[in-house]
Amino acid sequence: MSVELHDLEERLEEVRGEIRSAAKRSGRSEADVTLVAVTKTFPASLIRTAWAAGLRDFGENRVQEITAKGPELTDLTLNLHMIGHLQTNKVKAVLPHISHLHSVDRVHLAEEVAARLPDGRILPVFLQINTTSEASKSGATPEDAETLLDAVGALDGLSVRGLMTIGPLDGTEDDIRRSFVSLREIRDRLERASGLDLPWLSMGMSGDFAIAIEEGATHVRVGSRLFGERSHR
Ligand SMILES: *Cc1c(COP(=O)(O)O)cnc(C)c1O
């Protein structure tokens, strides 16, 4: 499946307009929000088209796709964000290709990342928190967040910049907003407890990114609104 540059430019303009309005409603500007274009299931050629449209941050959720597409894109200056669940035995393969990791949800994973990072490399990471208590979702519980931060913060190479969550998969607007408010409040609590700066909040997808920005999102992960429906995942 291919996406035409012209169609993509139109959709991108719409999405950027909604980002701008939501940022304004939260007293911020569009520049405070990074649009991470989620290209999972699409080929590397789509990323090239999206790059031509002006996008520079891309999100993928599968190691196999990242290791396949990454080497095809080395001529482009871009950020590749790992936004999906990461198994420890795949850490080594994925690290050379990614710029950000959104899904640090357990100490063991963070330790493996620290062990595999080359000397001197600093990887910006988000701690993934399950704010909706949906058992099917990964993410540390809000109760475990402080312990996770203490452990990850002590590791070399990982720089914890903030938190990430996935909103309720089907919920009312109130449920969705409550999940994003909860992530922000957990962040505020962690900052007070640790004295660290945790400026980033990765929350909001195609269906709910405006709400997320109103509640403080700095990174929104948008796929289908830009590229159309996926056939799977
Ligand atoms: C697929 C995915 C997205 C993007 O979903 P859309 O609804 O297509 O915008 C965002 N975040 C994560 C973690 C995803 O897996």
pLDDT band at 3, cuts 50/70/90? confident
C-alpha of residue 1 to centroid of ligand 1, in Å: 18
Q: How many whole angstroms from 119 Cα to the centroid of ligand 1?
A: 32
175-208 per-position pLDDT tens digit: 999 999 999 999 999 999 999 999 999 999 999 9
Quote the pLDDT of residue 169.
86
Which tens digits make up the pLDDT trace of 200-219?
999 999 999 999 999 999 99
User: 221, 224, 233: which to mutate for ligand 1, most atoms within 8 A of CB?
Assistant: 221
Q: Which pLDDT score is estimated for 232?
A: 63
Total length of the chain: 233
Residue among 35, 38, 138 whose CB has most ligand 1 atoms within 8 A, to mutate: 38
Separation in Å, CA 182 to CA 7, 147, 155, 197:
36, 18, 26, 18
The domains of the chain are located at 5-226
**Cβ atoms within 10 Å of 105's Cβ, excluding its own:** 23
Question: Which CATH number does the domain 5-226 belong to among 3.65.10.10, 3.40.1370.10, 3.20.20.10, 3.40.50.300?
Answer: 3.20.20.10
Report yes or no on whether pTM surpasses 0.85.
yes
The verdict on the CB of residue 61 being under 6 Å from ligand 1 is yes
Cα 147 to chain centroid distance, Å, stands at 21
What is the pLDDT confidence band of residue 137, given thresholds at 50, 70 and 90?
confident
Q: At residue 233, does pLDDT exceed 60?
A: no
What does the pLDDT read at residue 22? 98
| Beta carbon of 82 within 6 Å of any ligand 1 atom | no
CA of 195 to the centre of ligand 1 (A): 31
Average pLDDT (132-153) is 92
Q: Is-contact 157 132, C-beta < 8 A?
A: no
Please tell me which residue, 135 or 37, carries the higher pLDDT value: 37
- Ligand 1 atom index nearest CA of 227: 8
Residue 1 has pLDDT above 60, yes or no: no
The protein residue with its alpha carbon nearest to ligand 1, atom 10, reads: 221
pLDDT band of residue 29 (cuts 50, 70, 90) is very high
Give the Cα separation of 26 and 213 in Å (integer).
Answer: 7
Cα–Cα distance, 91 to 67 (Å, whole number): 11
Q: Are the beta carbons of 226 and 189 closer than 8 angstroms? A: no
> pLDDT tier at 147 (50, 70, 90 boundaries)?
very high
Assign 3-state DSSP to the chain and report helix, strand, coil percentages, each to 5: 45, 15, 35
Q: How far is the CA of 40 from the centre of ligand 1 (A)?
A: 8
- Ligand 1 centroid to residue 221 C-alpha, Å: 6
CA distance 199 to 63: 27
Does residue 17 or residue 134 have the better pLDDT?
17
User: In the predicted model, what is the mean pLDDT of residues 110-129?
Assistant: 98
Quickly state the pLDDT bin for 48 (edges 50, 70, 90).
very high
What are the tens digits of pLDDT across the range 148-158? 999 999 999 99
